[in-house]
Homo-oligomer: A and B are copies of this chain.
Amino acid sequence: MTGPLRLPESIRLREVGLRDGLQIEQPIPTEAKLELLDALVATGVRRIEATAFVSPRAVPALADAAEVAARLSQYPDIEFSALVANPRGAHRAIDAGITTVEYVVSASDGHSTANAGRTTAEALEQCAEVSSVVHRAGGTCEVIVAVAWDDPFDGPTPPDNVVALARRAVDLGADRLCLGDTIGTTTPMRMAQLVTAVREACSGVQVGLHLHDTRGAGLATALAAMQIGVLDLDASIGGLGGCPFAPGASGNIATEELAYLCRDCRVDTGLDMERLVAAAALAQQLVGRPLESGVLRAGDRALVAPDRPVPAA
């Protein structure tokens, strides 16, 4: 921790644009995804959620999961992961060569039923099988707790429920946890309280965050997260994203906005701003609509007066 705001020296950013970003979009060709993947790899990012092995009927945009996965071996330095919703998805991911798996469990029945056709308890029951499948393949199973703060159908999620769910998931084999602000309602203090409670209940387990920027507080919450030592943050290029089964959800926090903030706060992300903006521009072109990233629209501050160099912080 350095500086007046006590921030970590570095974070492990996970790029989720190819999965959470594209899942709500009209399907784009696999080759276009791979072009975006190339652009993302060029930014320096080292963790990429590449796709999801879920029902192609429910999420047609990710129906090419296996084809995407087949192309990942050309990037041996990247930790690729895939999201799954049940043991069958875990098997598909493993068969496709992806052994870093995220299993999503909604913390509230309303979203769980809409998103996965089952209750939270039913989803949790399958956690043991999913993690077992993954562990047998030598992989890592992360449980993402969706609607960890608010459920679009059920309203506020009781923090105790999230803590109990997280603890149970670890007991059932989860190696890592991630708390998802699926509809973009959380704020720094609510985030800090829940993360602190989950950490206390799951001592020694890495707890990451998956934030959306629906109400403007995404980066503020990310800042507060870094201040309490959260080093695992999801973000999506261009701020792509949302959730097809969560009314009111908008994009993830934008990778280039988080990287912009981190650079000037001396928090190392390993990312290159210029290449991030290029990748975000490509993402925008591929989805064919304006993305909401401020850094994409306004550019890095290095471009404000381009003949003048930007000094460190």
Q: Is A185 an interface residue (CB 8 A)?
A: yes
| A80 in the interface (beta carbon within 8 A) | no
Interface size on A, as a range, is 35 or more
Contact A261 B154 (CB under 8 A): no
**For the complex formed by this chain, how many copies does it contain in all?**
2
Residue in contact with A187 in the complex, picked from B153, B154, B185, B261, CB distance below 8 Å? B261
- Give the residues in chain B near A250, CB-CB below 8 Å: 294, 297-298
Partner of A154, one of B213, B266, B293, B305: B305
B150 to A187, Cβ gap below 8 A?
Answer: no
How close is A289's CB to chain B, nearest CB, in angstroms? 14
Complex contacts, A260 vs chain B, CB 8 Å: 187, 215-217
User: Contact string, A167-185, partner B, CB cutoff 8 A, digits 1/0?
Assistant: 0000000000000000111
Q: Which chain B residues lie closer than 8 Å to A305 at the CB level? A: 110, 150-156
* Known contacts A156-B308, A294-B184; A189 and B7 CB within 8 A of each other: yes
Q: How far is the CA of A220 from the CA of B293 in the complex (A)?
A: 15
Chain A residues with CB under 8 Å of chain B are 3-5, 7, 110, 150-156, 183-190, 192-193, 196, 213-220, 222-224, 227-228, 248, 250, 253-254, 257, 260-261, 264-266, 292-295, 297-299, 301, 304-305, 307-311, 313
**A85 vs B90: C-alpha distance when bound (angstroms):** 64
**Contact yes or no, A189 B151, CB < 8 A:** no
The contact of A293 among B183, B216, B309, by CB within 8 Å, is B216
Are the C-beta atoms of A294 and B155 separated by less than 8 Å? Answer: no
| Nearest chain B CB to A296 CB, angstrom units | 9
Known A-B contacts A216-B213, A224-B223; A248 and B4 likewise in contact (beta carbons under 8 Å): no
Residue among A294, A308, A311 with max Cβ neighbours from chain B (10 Å): A294
Q: Which residue of B lies closest to A159 (CB)?
A: B311
A152 contacts which of B190, B215, B304, B309 (Cβ < 8 Å)? B304
Residue of B nearest to A149 (CB): B301
